[in-house]
Amino acid sequence: MIKPSVSHPPHHRRRVAIAGGGLAGLRAAEELRRQGFDGSIRMLTAEAVAPYDRPQLSKSLLVGTTSVEKAIYRDAEYYKKLSIDLLLEHRIDGLDLHGHCLKTNNGSVDFDHLIICTGAAPRRLGSLVNLAGVHELRTLADGVAIRDALANAPRVVVVGAGFIGSEVAASARELGLEVTIVEASPAPLARALGDDMGIACAGLHADHGTRLLKGVSIASIEGSGRVERVRLTDGTAIDCDLLVVGIGVVPTVDWLAGSGLPLDNGVVCDATLSTPATGVYAAGDVASWPNELFGQRMRGEQWTNAVEQGRHVARNLLANAGEQLPFHGSNYFWSDQYGVRIQFAGITAADEIRIVEGAVAERRFLAWYRRGDRLVGALAMNEARSLMLSKTLIERRASWGEGMAAFEKATTS
């Protein structure tokens, strides 16, 4: 799709609005300035705080090794220095593409170019969350509320054994609390890692005294004024003082209904992360794009994806007509649980998964995912160096044989 150049536009055509105050938006704003863009940049967020580091919310913030202040990326002086107008408590309610403006609870914000980075929101348990002591984790305020609640909650139940739920459970165990995880799927982490590897990583919970119940879900939450117990679909009742819900997220696109932008599990973009509307891009959790690296449409919810897409969109926005580049993300992410680092790169759609280094039982291994004759994924537990080598091979589109030869050479030299 051909876009007009914005390298040297007239002054009145140089207003960039960034919808969303997360990591993708911050990196986009920084990259615009790094590339020499000197027009106006306005970043809008519904929250009352500047962009912050979400990975800390389920780990160091909960156990008290990180403060709220340290979790926030940059102070007000930083935004002033870069001439980034950070508009806090600006909830975006709609988009007028024809009028080139965002509609917010604090009035309209005009733009010439728009980067959509509104991220994702937690899936809800519906009417089951109307008691005190029931929490979800997405925002800094959520993290603070859970941290404070853990101080008086000896019995914790976590709904969902995904990475967020698992990290919250690990943090609670580090604090010496009794923890039960309730997971509806028979194979935890299956969507992110595949069935077998998901079950292997979930073994960490048993290693550290966390009770993991699979194949069941919450039927009801009981208590007088606050949660006291949960009843499962198999009839089991579990007493608890704190219930944390971590059952995934959905892209935040409700505000785009009726805007004319195509929506399908996020904002539908082309390979360059551009939408069909000229000058409008998306990045981070909210962007759905055809990833040519794997030949499939994807939407990434990872820290690295937000960083890379935010910067990529900024460069494409400033590129000359016809020179926007496709984004090839390798879907890299990590999770820290019980002092163990789990890392993954690539995709799980594979014909074979093979342990190429270490052993699952030792909680130190590297697994490769093969599709056809190509290396398409790698999972590591406490094998950071090997994982990063694997990530490079995946990004190079190495064949299985090429990958094996390169890995053998690197690990024996």
| Alpha-carbon separation of residue 361 from 130, 161, 197, 358, 382 (angstroms) | 41, 20, 12, 9, 12
pLDDT of the residue at 315: 97
Give the C-alpha separation, 256 to 92, whole Å: 9
Closest CA to 260 of 284, 278, 272, 286: 278
Residue type, 220: S
What's the pLDDT score for residue 129?
A: 63
Report yes or no: 23 and 310 within 8 Å, Cβ to Cβ. yes
Q: What is the dihedral of CA 66, 68, 74, 80, to 10 degrees?
A: -160
Strands 40-44 and 15-19 turn out to be parallel
Q: Residue 2 is encoded by which pair of tokens?
A: 């051909």
Q: pLDDT band for 369, please (50, 70, 90 cuts).
A: very high
Q: What was the pLDDT predicted at 195?
A: 86
pLDDT tens-place string over residues 232-247: 999 999 999 999 999 9
Residue 6 pLDDT more than 80?
no
Q: Is the pLDDT of residue 27 over 50?
A: yes
Beta-carbon count within 10 A of 186 CB: 12
**What does the pLDDT read at residue 164?**
94
Based on its alpha-carbon atoms, the radius of gyration of the chain, rounded to whole angstroms, reads 22
Question: Which pLDDT score, from 0 to 100, does residue 15 have?
Answer: 97
| Burial class, 68, CB count within 10 angstroms (exposed 0-12 / middle 13-18 / buried 19+) | middle
Please write the tens of the pLDDT for every residue from 321-349.
789 999 999 999 999 999 999 999 999 99
More confident residue, 185 or 2: 185
- Higher pLDDT, residue 124 or 326: 326
Percent of the chain with pLDDT over 90: 88
**pLDDT higher than threshold 80 for residue 7:** no
Here the tokens at position 193 are 């890692």
In Å, how far from its chain's centre is CA 110? 28
Question: How confident is the prediction for the chain on average, in pLDDT?
Answer: 93
- Crossing angle between the packed helical segments 163-174 and 140-150, to the nearest 10 degrees: 30
Phi-psi bin for 247: left (phi > 0), alpha (psi -120 to 50), beta?
alpha
Query: Which of the two residues, 332 and 9, has the higher pLDDT score?
Result: 332
For residue 403, is pLDDT > 90? yes
Q: Which tens digit of pLDDT belongs to each residue from 52-82? A: 999 999 999 999 999 999 999 999 999 999 9
Decide if pLDDT at 5 tops 80: no
- Split at pLDDT 50, 70, 90, the class of 127 is low
Question: What pLDDT does residue 353 have?
Answer: 95
Structure tokens at 318: 């400033």
Cα–Cα distance, 401 to 382 (Å, whole number): 24
| Residue 301 token pair | 């919810």
